[in-house]
Chain A
Amino acid sequence: MADEVELRALLLKGLAGEEAAHRAFLMEAAALLRPYFRNRLRAAPDDAEDLVQETLVALHTRRDSYDPTLPLTAWMYAIARYRLIDFLRRKKRRGDHATIDDLEIGDADPQFEASDARRDVMRLLAKLPEKQRRAIELVKLQEHSVEEASKLTGYGVSDIKVSIHRGMKALMKLMAEENPA
């Protein structure tokens, strides 16, 4: 698993627009976040994977909040912790105390390796405003470049970029609001 130095290098390259480095960063982050959430939500491994995904979107959409002079893992875990607290608050508001009471700190169960969350991000994408949804579909799912997406939709290049960014932030909100079964 990557250490602080490697992770930081990957994120900085990703910030500069290197797709492979950004993907590698998110993969490594997911590998670190999974045990983090599993240890804290031992009674609900599915919630843990939902939170991994939520946090990955948060890391992605708020990546400009990383200050390169500070440790990267502190930044990453601060966001993870925030997502966890927000999740527990949401649960509490729904009157679902079970997970909070079952909170245990301990080792993750190594048998449990599934990385499938219950929530379907694709279904949430459909809830986004038309423009954001189109931009994300074209660039992120159908692998068009931003320029191609601009030609296909008639929106400006920066308009497409902004729509993707806003759409991703909105997506994380939807993920957080979603009430998993």
Chain B
Amino acid sequence: MKTDDLIDLLARNVEPAERPRWRMRLMLTLLAGLAIAIALVVTFIGMRPDIGTATWAVLLKAGFSAAAAACVLPLAMRLMRPGAPLGWRLAAVLIFAGVSLLAAFVALMGMPSEARMRAWTGGGFPWCIVLIPIFAAPAAVLMVWLARSLAPTRLTLSGAAIGALSGGLGAMAYAMYCPIDSVAFVTTWYVVAIAVCAALGAMIGSKLLRW
């Protein structure tokens, strides 16, 4: 087929492009992903029994997770538009991770050395690095579905951003269960959990996001 004929086909009776209400769609997607994550946490591992008295700790941890998601959001949105420079958006994510790990270090240094290990690991394996990605998965699926209707051209990075963003949502939900409130624990392992989500997203992003 001649390219000119194809152009005729594309241009003939062209409709005004609909205004892409994709900010709105993104917000709805994020809310739905968060709601599903909360439902999964409540159903499968349950809220922590002392949630009545530990409200502030839960809110702080959920707030930290929300901040992480908020740092990834501009990057994720930018990646859906072809040819848009990323600018400060990638740096914002890295700075958030760096500051979090620094905060963990400072918090640990301010403790007596015999209490550090327990404060850092929570006295066992930090299960959140396994559980948060699981609770983040539905949000990631919804976001991939949205992204496929947009036009990401850097698929690995887009996959990582989607993974990190859904990781933030998963962590928000997980905060309702998480019984460990030490600062060093949260600023280390929540960030690692979100990084795990980003790594998984980067690995499968280029397959799922193709268009």
A interface, CB within 8 angstroms of B: 14-19, 22-23, 26-27, 30, 49, 52-53, 56-58, 60, 62-67, 70-71, 74-79, 81-82, 86, 115-117, 119-122, 136, 139-141, 143-146, 161, 164, 168, 173
Give 12 new A-B contacts, CB below 8 A, not counting A79-B83, A79-B153: A19-B14, A27-B7, A64-B20, A65-B81, A70-B81, A74-B85, A75-B82, A76-B83, A115-B3, A117-B2, A121-B9, A143-B13
Chain A residues with CB under 8 Å of B150's CB are 62, 65
How far does the alpha carbon of A139 sit from the alpha carbon of B83 in the complex, in Å?
Answer: 31
Q: Is the CB of B82 within 8 A of A78?
A: yes
Contacts of A161 in B (CB 8 A): 15
30 examples of A-B residue contacts, CB within 8 angstroms: A14-B14, A14-B17, A17-B17, A19-B14, A23-B8, A26-B11, A53-B1, A56-B3, A56-B6, A57-B10, A62-B151, A63-B17, A64-B17, A65-B20, A65-B81, A65-B150, A70-B84, A74-B84, A77-B83, A78-B83, A115-B2, A115-B3, A116-B2, A120-B1, A121-B6, A121-B9, A140-B9, A140-B13, A146-B15, A168-B10
Asked whether B3 lies within 8 Å of A65 as measured between CB atoms, the reply is no
Closest 6 CB pairs of A and B: A78-B83, A17-B16, A74-B83, A78-B82, A23-B11, A82-B153
Residues on the B chain within 8 Å of A56, using CB = 3, 6-7, 10
Indicate if the CB atoms of B17 and A26 lie closer than 8 Å.
Answer: no
Q: Is the CB of A71 within 8 A of B83?
A: yes
Residues of B within 8 A of A (CB): 1-4, 6-20, 80-85, 150-151, 153, 210-211
Q: Do the beta carbons of B84 and A116 come within 8 Å of each other?
A: no
Q: Are B83 and A143 in contact (CB under 8 A)?
A: no
Instruction: Please indicate the chain A residues that have their CB under 8 angstroms from the CB of B1 in the complex.
Output: 53, 116-117, 119-122
A16 to B211, CA, bound (A): 25
What is the CA–CA distance of A77 and B84 in the complex, to the nearest angstrom?
Answer: 11
The prevalent SS among residues of A at the interface is helix
* B14 contacts across to A, CB distance below 8 A: 14, 17-19, 22
How many CB-defined contacts (below 8 Å) exist between A and B?
Answer: 119
Instruction: Give the shortest distance, in Å, between A139 (CB) and chain B (any CB).
Output: 5
Which residues of chain B come closer than 8 Å to A119, judged between CB atoms?
Answer: 1
Contact B84 A57 (CB under 8 A): no
Complex Cα–Cα for A173 and B210 (A): 10
| Chain A minimum-CB-distance residue to B2 | A116
| Shortest beta-carbon distance from B154 to chain A in Å | 8
Q: How far is the CA of A23 from the CA of B6 in the complex (A)?
A: 10
A86 and B6 within 8 A (CB): no
Partner of B151, one of A79, A121, A168: A79
Closest to A123 in B: B1
Give chain B residues whose Cβ lies under 8 Å from the Cβ of A22.
10-11, 14
Chain B residues contacting A145 (CB-CB under 8 Å) are 13
Interface pair A15/B16, CB less than 8 Å apart = yes
Residues on the A chain within 8 Å of B210, using CB: 86
Bound complex: CA A140 to CA B5 (Å): 11
Chain B residues with CB below 8 A from A16, complex form = 16-17
A137 vs B45: C-alpha distance when bound (angstroms): 54
Minimum CB–CB distance from A135 to chain B (whole Å) comes to 11
Question: Which residues of chain B are near A27, meaning CB under 8 Å?
Answer: 4, 7
Q: Which residue of A lies closest to B8 (CB)?
A: A23
Chain B neighbourhood of A57, CB < 8 A:
6, 10
